[in-house]
Amino acid sequence: MVVAAVLGLSHIVAAAHAAEWCDQVAGGDAALLSKGEPLVRSKADPEGGSGVIEGCIDIPVAPATLWELMLDCAKAKQFLEDLVECRVTERDSAGAWDVREQVMDVSALLPNLRSVFRSDYTLHREIRFRQLSGNLDLMEGHWRLRPFADGQSTRLTYRARIASSLPVPDSLIRSILAGEAPRTLTLLRREAIAMGAPR
């Protein structure tokens, strides 16, 4: 998924038990989360890439509902405003992984971002992704879904590491992609709530 390909939108490989940044926030940031607002931050990549982007949002639906939405390429344009194309090119018969191609038009200052990436799935809990080809040099990261409120709500967290040799400053790439992340998280929340509403 840029944010899906870049945010699906990317993997830093972290230990499964590692604490997420959003689980450590307090004060005003914690209050924003409780109101359903997204938190996003970006920083320079200590390993020399263009940057690291992290984000999270609390969504009042069960993880299974959110999971269904996030894995549906046909619905991806509902939460990825800049998505031009999304298609699954390979799929594991057991549903443990797939390969997707996404094209995003994220900015007039950048060419369309094309990414072919593999996602590995832990059902209703985690999506780990890494770019196989595309016009970013590196895109890897994860989405994690953690249930709370007796399993009726989900904290969705995102972390991505991105590197690019595009002829623009790394700080601009980080700014553009970090600006896209809050919109994606907010739209994911809206669409998941609509999916989970009684029919």
What digits encode the pLDDT tens for the residues 119-168? 999 999 999 999 999 988 888 999 999 999 999 999 999 999 888 776 66
- pLDDT score of 167: 67
Q: How far apart are CA 109 and CA 40, in angstroms?
A: 22
Q: Nearest Cα to 113, choosing from 83, 91, 143, 89?
A: 83
Q: How many other C-beta atoms can be found within 10 angstroms of the C-beta atom of residue 177?
A: 30
**Mean pLDDT confidence for 107-117:** 84
What digits encode the pLDDT tens for the residues 41-75? 888 777 766 688 899 999 999 999 999 999 999 99
- pTM as predicted: 0.84
Kindly tell me if the per-residue pLDDT of 107 is higher than 70: yes
Q: Considering the domain boundaries, does residue 100 fall inside one?
A: yes
Q: Which residue has the higher pLDDT, 10 or 82?
A: 82
Compute the mean pLDDT over every residue in the chain, rounded to the nearest whole number.
Answer: 84
Q: Considering the domain boundaries, does residue 3 fall inside one?
A: no
Strands ordered across the beta sheet of 126-134: 39-43, 51-59, 153-163, 138-148, 126-134, 113-122, 97-104, 83-91
Q: Considering the domain boundaries, does residue 1 fall inside one?
A: no
**Mean pLDDT confidence for 166-183:** 73
Kindly tell me if the per-residue pLDDT of 177 is higher than 50: yes
In this structure, what token pair is assigned to residue 9?
Answer: 């939108």
Q: Considering the domain boundaries, does residue 111 fall inside one?
A: yes
Q: Considering the domain boundaries, does residue 85 fall inside one?
A: yes
Q: Considering the domain boundaries, does residue 4 fall inside one?
A: no
Q: Considering the domain boundaries, does residue 121 fall inside one?
A: yes
Kindly tell me if the per-residue pLDDT of 199 is higher than 70: no
**Mean pLDDT confidence for 28-47:** 88
Q: How far apart are CA 3 and CA 104, in angstroms?
A: 9
Q: What is the CATH number of the domain that holds 44?
A: 3.30.530.20
Domain that holds residue 131: 21-196
Please, what is the Cα angle at 55 between 112 and 118, to 5 degrees? 55
- Number of domain units in the chain: 1
Kindly tell me if the per-residue pLDDT of 190 is higher than 60: yes
Q: 3-class DSSP state for residue 70? A: helix
Kindly tell me if the per-residue pLDDT of 4 is higher than 60: no
Q: Tell me the CA end-to-end span of the chain in Å, nearest whole number.
A: 28
